[in-house]
Amino acid sequence: MLLRGILAAALLGACSDDGGGLADGAADQTRWDGQVADGVALDGGAGCATSAAMLSQVDPSRMLKDLQFLVGLGERRTYLGQRKAADYLKSQLAVLPGVALREQSYTYQGQTYVNLEATIAGTELPGEYVFAGAHYDSASSDPVKAPGADDDASGTVAILELARVLGGCHPRRSVRLLLFSNEEQGIIGSTSYVSSIKASVPPSSVVGFLSVDMVAFGPAGEDLDLATKPPQATFADAVGAAVEQWTTLKVKKIISEHCG
């Protein structure tokens, strides 16, 4: 259910014809709802005629299989654990049509780690981006085990499923899906990635970023927390509207300078 909302939110940014973007512009909510509802500007690809058709492609059993593999590694905090996770994720992303896969490598404590970048190129505004990402490493107070089913294998499999569903479609804006390593060590992986794209992706080209973290914890009926800083409140409003349109989740927005 949650992934349907995340996918709808990604579609909202990727397919909207508002050139100013959501992060820094005033949203016309009626217009945004229409964009999400009818899949405006999705051009071709099986199952891509409408947003509803795309959302119907989400496969919970496939996501569960991905989750079970990641959790089954036992831990994803060591170099070896993260290497195994990255290899699996690459094997899944590499075969997807319409998805350009890139590894971004960096060195940490003498080992080479990778962040994974999966891009679905935009047809009309390829230089504008909607980002969504999660971290595939894990952490635990246990000296041996760190399965990390919720934090953040749940977000990782959501991003992977997004790539599967969006790969055969042609959004107006580019969609870039990211899987980070060493996030639990102090945002090492994401910091390295952002540094690597500073020259090619200026902030003005980014419509918004959805950080998909810990999306499988809690009882049925629990709300979805959307946390961001005040300058991105409009983007959060639009994401929340998309989630509420396509799921039964209640959205709780946390807008604070302390978010980040």
Mind listing the pLDDT tens digit for each residue in 61-114? Answer: 999 999 999 999 999 999 999 999 999 999 999 999 999 999 999 999 999 999
**CA-CA distance, 131 to 189, in Å (whole number)?**
16
**CA-CA distance, 176 to 53, in Å (whole number)?**
21
What is the per-residue pLDDT across 121-150, written as a single tens digit (0 to 9) for each?
A: 988 889 999 899 999 999 999 988 999 999
What is the per-residue pLDDT across 3-46, written as a single tens digit (0 to 9) for each?
A: 555 555 555 545 444 322 223 222 322 222 323 323 333 444 44
The residue behind tokens 């760190």 is: 146
- The CATH architecture to which 60-228+248-255 belongs is 3-Layer(aba) Sandwich (3.40)
Asked whether residue 254 carries a pLDDT value surpassing 90, the answer given is no
What ranges do the domains of the chain cover? 60-228+248-255
pLDDT at 8: 56
pLDDT band at 241 (very low <50, low <70, confident <90, very high): confident
SS3 content of the chain, % helix, strand, coil (to 5): 40, 20, 40
* Average pLDDT over all residues of the chain: 81
Count the helices and strands in the chain (H runs, E runs).
8, 7
pTM for the model stands at 0.85
CA 114 to mean position of chain CA atoms? 17
